[in-house]
């Protein structure tokens, strides 16, 4: 059996769901544009540059979840999914996931974006397992804080290994392990699998992939 892991943002989807979620809330007037838009753009640029402080970002990204009832958040998320995410899901990405599933691989999406935003997205790909940053809850209400290790950079390895151990598995349980990503932030996990693949990579990852002889593919178009 193989293990197939997929980054989500700018890999399986042609955009960043974390960034788009904040922009969606700003456009609806839920978040104040003057206070939030510049910071959202700044954090996204830091992420792309590989300089993001994940703890500072999560405080920014998760606090709005704590201010509204879960039912209202769920309503907004359904609108966000239909209007902003589904148009970013392409046929090539669906086909790639389907290829691994049809071969019997254990598949998971591994993303730094929080599980509230990304939970519905994995179902579009027929993937049962999501490894994402977890927004903490108390009695079903979000607290505005993360729970456990964020699924970011080296944290992705920690979270994947905890997930595997919970099923009685380890890297050696698989004939081959794959990870698909666009970002230099994912170099730790890409370096951990037997088959790393750069997908529409940023310049840093592209240069690393070419030097290391990793495949470089595109899922756009």
Residue-wise pLDDT for 184-212, tens only, equals 999 999 999 999 999 999 999 999 999 99
CA-CA-CA-CA torsion for 162, 163, 167, 168, nearest 10 degrees?
-30
CA 38 to chain centre: 22
Segments forming the whole domain that contains residue 172: 1-221
Question: Can you say how many angstroms the Cα of residue 96 is from the centroid of all Cα atoms in its chain?
Answer: 17
pLDDT band for position 15 (cuts 50, 70, 90):
very high
The pTM assigned to this predicted structure is 0.96
Whether residue 221 is predicted with pLDDT greater than 80 in this model: the reply is no
| Residue 151, pLDDT above cutoff 90 | yes
Tokens of 67: 């201010």
Taking alpha carbons only, the member of 150, 149, 220, 156 closest to residue 187 is 156
pLDDT digits (tens, 9 = 90+) for 42-59: 999 999 999 999 999 999
Residue 209 belongs to domain with CATH number: 3.40.50.1000
pLDDT of residue 35: 87
Q: What DSSP state is assigned to residue 85? A: I
Is residue 97 within 8 A of residue 126, CB to CB? The reply is yes
Give the Cα separation of 18 and 113 in Å (integer). 6
Who contacts 94 (Cβ-Cβ below 8 Å, separation ≥6)?
Answer: 124, 125
The residue written with tokens 């999914």 in the block is 81
Query: CB-based burial of residue 72 (10 Å sphere; 0-12 exposed, 13-18 middle, 19+ buried)?
Result: exposed
Q: What is the mean pLDDT of the chain?
A: 96
- Report which DSSP code applies to 81: I
State the pLDDT confidence band at 14, using cuts at 50, 70 and 90.
very high
Task: Give the count of domains, the chain.
Answer: 1
Q: What tokens does 195 get?
A: 């088959």
Q: What is the pLDDT of residue 78?
A: 97
Q: Which residues are catalytic?
A: 7, 9
Residue 121 and residue 17 in contact, taking contact as beta carbons nearer than 8 Å: yes
The answer, yes or no, to whether residue 132 has pLDDT greater than 80, is: yes
Cα(106)–Cα(127) distance, integer angstroms: 9
Identify the sign of the CA torsion 165, 168, 169, 170: positive
Residue 219: φ, ψ to 5°: -110, 15
């Amino acid at each position: 059996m193989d293990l197939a892991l997929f980054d989500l943002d700018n890999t399986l989807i042609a955009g960043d769901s974390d960034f788009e979620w904040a922009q969606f809330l700003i456009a609806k007037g839920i978040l104040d544009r003057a206070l939030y838009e510049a910071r959202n753009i700044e954090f996204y640029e830091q992420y792309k540059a590989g300089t993001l402080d994940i703890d500072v970002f999560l405080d920014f990204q998760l606090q709005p979840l704590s201010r509204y009832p879960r039912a209202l958040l769920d309503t907004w998320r359904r609108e966000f999914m239909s209007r902003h995410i589904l148009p970013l899901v392409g046929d090539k990405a669906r086909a790639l996931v389907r290829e691994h599933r049809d071969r019997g691989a254990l598949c998971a999406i591994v993303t730094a974006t929080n599980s509230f935003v990304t939970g519905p997205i994995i179902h579009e790909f027929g993937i049962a397992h999501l490894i994402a940053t977890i927004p903490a809850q108390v009695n079903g209400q979000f607290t505005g804080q993360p729970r456990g290790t964020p699924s970011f950079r080296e944290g992705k390895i920690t979270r994947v290994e905890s997930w595997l151990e919970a099923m009685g598995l380890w890297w050696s349980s698989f004939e081959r392990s794959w990870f698909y990503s666009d970002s230099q932030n994912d170099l730790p996990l890409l370096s951990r699998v037997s088959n790393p693949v750069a997908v529409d990579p940023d310049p840093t990852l592209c240069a690393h992939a070419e030097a290391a002889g990793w495949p470089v593919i595109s899922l756009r178009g």
